[in-house]
A and B are shown apart, each in its own frame.
Chain A
Amino acid sequence: MSIEKTPASNRAWASASIAIAAVLFMSSSILGLVVLPSVQGTDPFTNLWDSICSAAGLPRRASSTDPVEPDHKISRVVLSTMPKAEADSVGRGATIALQCAICHGPTGVSRADSPNLAGQYAVAIYKQLEDFRSGARSSAVMSPFAANLSDQDIRDVAAYYAYLPSVPTNHASTAGVPAIVAYGAPLRGIAPCGSCHGSVENKAGSPWLGGQPSAYITAQLNAFAVGIRTNDTSQQMRNIARQMSKDEIAQAAEYYASLNPDGL
Chain B
Amino acid sequence: MSVEKSASGDVALKIERRWAAVSILIIAFLTGMAAYAGIHQAVMPQTTVEIINPTTLHMTGEFIESNLGSALEPDGSVTVRAVAQQYSFTPACIVVPKDTPITLRATSADVVHGLLIQQTNVNTMLVPGYVSVQTAKFEETGEHLMPCQEFCSVGHEGMWAKVQVIDKPQFLAMASNKRRLSCAE
Residues of B within 8 A of A51 (CB): 47
CB distance from B116 to the nearest CB of A (A): 14
In the complex, A153 Cα to B11 Cα: how many Å?
Answer: 88
User: B35 contacts the other chain (Cβ, under 8 Å)?
Assistant: yes
Partner of A234, one of B51, B65, B159: B65
A191 touches B159 (CB 8 A): yes
Contact B158 A192 (CB under 8 A): yes
Q: Is A37 a contact of B109 with CB atoms below 8 Å? A: no
Does A148 sit at the interface, judged by CB under 8 A? no
Q: Which residues of B contact A60 (CB under 8 A)?
A: 48-51
Task: Report the Cα distance A74→B60, complex, angstroms.
Answer: 10
Of the listed stretches B13-21, B80-88, B167-175, name the one at the interface; the rest are far from the partner chain.
B80-88
Q: Which of A51-75 contact B (CB under 8 A)?
A: 51, 54-55, 57-62, 64-65, 67-71, 74-75
Count of chain A residues with Cβ under 8 Å from any Cβ of B?
Answer: 59
B38 adjacent to chain A (CB < 8 Å): yes
User: When each residue 159-200 of chain A gets 1 if its CB lies under 8 Å from chain B and 0 otherwise, what string results?
Assistant: 000000000000000000000000011111111100110001
Known: A69-B66, A186-B158, A192-B155. A42 touches B85 (CB 8 A): no
How far is the CB of B97 from the nearest CB of chain A, in Å? 19
* Shortest Cβ gap from A122 to chain B (Å): 18
Residues of A within 8 A of B39 (CB): 35-36, 39-40
Given contacts A234-B83, A235-B184, 20 further A-B contacts (CB under 8 A): A4-B2, A28-B31, A35-B39, A43-B47, A55-B47, A68-B66, A68-B180, A74-B59, A74-B65, A80-B55, A186-B158, A195-B87, A196-B155, A201-B153, A233-B85, A234-B57, A234-B65, A234-B90, A239-B88, A240-B88
Listed by A's residue number, 24 A-B pairs whose Cβ atoms lie within 8 Å are A28-B31, A57-B49, A58-B49, A59-B51, A62-B131, A65-B62, A67-B67, A78-B59, A80-B55, A184-B155, A184-B158, A186-B160, A189-B88, A189-B161, A191-B157, A191-B158, A192-B154, A195-B86, A195-B158, A196-B86, A196-B87, A201-B155, A234-B63, A236-B90
Residues of B within 8 A of A (CB): 2, 31, 35, 38-39, 44, 47-52, 55-68, 83, 85-92, 109, 130-131, 135, 145, 153-161, 179-180, 184-185
